[in-house]
């Protein structure tokens, strides 16, 4: 039988803290034994105790509290597993679609040297250059994507372009030894 709602916010918080402290361990064990990794378990535990917070007035008194929480965790796990199956099926479908429709380009000559130089850059530089050149974003738009200031983007992009030019020059020197011409600039 449900109790009358707890009106005092402080009392409500104390009740939740008592429930959480008393039952976190057993519920955590229950969830860990039924999930594939600690991150998934953390998500399920958070959702379970969020439900407990929202439905605090419906939680039965001990010894039924733990059983009620197991029931909540069981339903949250079921939702989690359904979501995982949907995500997995979608990923499989996307992989299959890409396998049929996408063939990575194979470059030779100048394009191969440019690709090699680009791949030789740090990941942060490649991302900046790609957002600018491939996605066509300006400094302000890149700043939004990266979560930094427009001026930071301007400076980082300037430095990334310099490093790319140096990589291209190195690739040019290497290709000169092998007789292949590599253009300087033009990528960004």
pLDDT in tens, 86-118: 999 999 888 888 877 776 667 677 888 888 888
Q: What are the tens digits of pLDDT across the range 2-21?
A: 566 666 788 999 999 999 99
Mean pLDDT of the 138-148 span: 94
**Percent of the chain predicted with pLDDT > 90:** 62
Mean pLDDT of the 31-55 span: 94
| pLDDT value of residue 2 | 52
Please state the φ and ψ torsions of residue 103, each to the nearest 5 degrees.
-125, 115
CATH topology for 109-178 is Arc Repressor Mutant, subunit A (1.10.10)
CA torsion sign, 10 to 15 to 21 to 25? negative
| pLDDT value of residue 176 | 64
Residues of the chain with CATH 1.10.1740.10: 9-101
Helix (H, G, I), strand (E, B) or coil at 43: helix
In whole angstroms, what separates CA 80 from the centre of its chain? Answer: 17
DSSP 184: -
The correct CATH number of 9-101 out of 1.10.443.10, 1.10.390.10, 1.10.1740.10, 1.10.3720.10 is 1.10.1740.10
Residues of the chain with CATH 1.10.10.10: 109-178
Location of structure tokens 């600690």? 38
Q: How many CB atoms lie within 10 A of CB 3?
A: 12
| pLDDT value of residue 182 | 44
């Amino acid at each position: 039988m449900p109790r009358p709602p707890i009106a005092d916010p402080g009392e409500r918080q104390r009740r939740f803290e008592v429930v959480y402290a008393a039952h976190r361990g057993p519920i955590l064990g229950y969830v860990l034994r039924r999930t594939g990794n600690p991150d998934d378990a953390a998500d399920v535990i958070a959702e379970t105790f969020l439900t407990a917070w929202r439905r605090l007035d419906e939680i039965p008194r001990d010894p039924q509290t733990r059983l009620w929480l197991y029931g909540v965790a069981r339903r949250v796990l079921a939702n989690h597993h359904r979501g995982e199956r949907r995500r997995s099926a979608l990923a499989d479908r996307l992989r299959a679609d890409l396998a049929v429709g996408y063939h990575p380009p194979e470059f030779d000559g100048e394009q191969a040297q440019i690709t090699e130089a680009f791949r030789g850059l740090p990941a942060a530089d490649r991302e900046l250059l790609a957002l600018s050149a491939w996605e066509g974003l300006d400094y302000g738009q890149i700043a939004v994507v990266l979560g930094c200031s427009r001026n930071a983007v301007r400076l980082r992009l300037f430095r990334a372009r310099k490093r790319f030019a140096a990589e291209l020059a190195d690739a040019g020197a290497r290709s000169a030894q092998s007789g292949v011409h590599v253009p300087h600039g033009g990528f960004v």
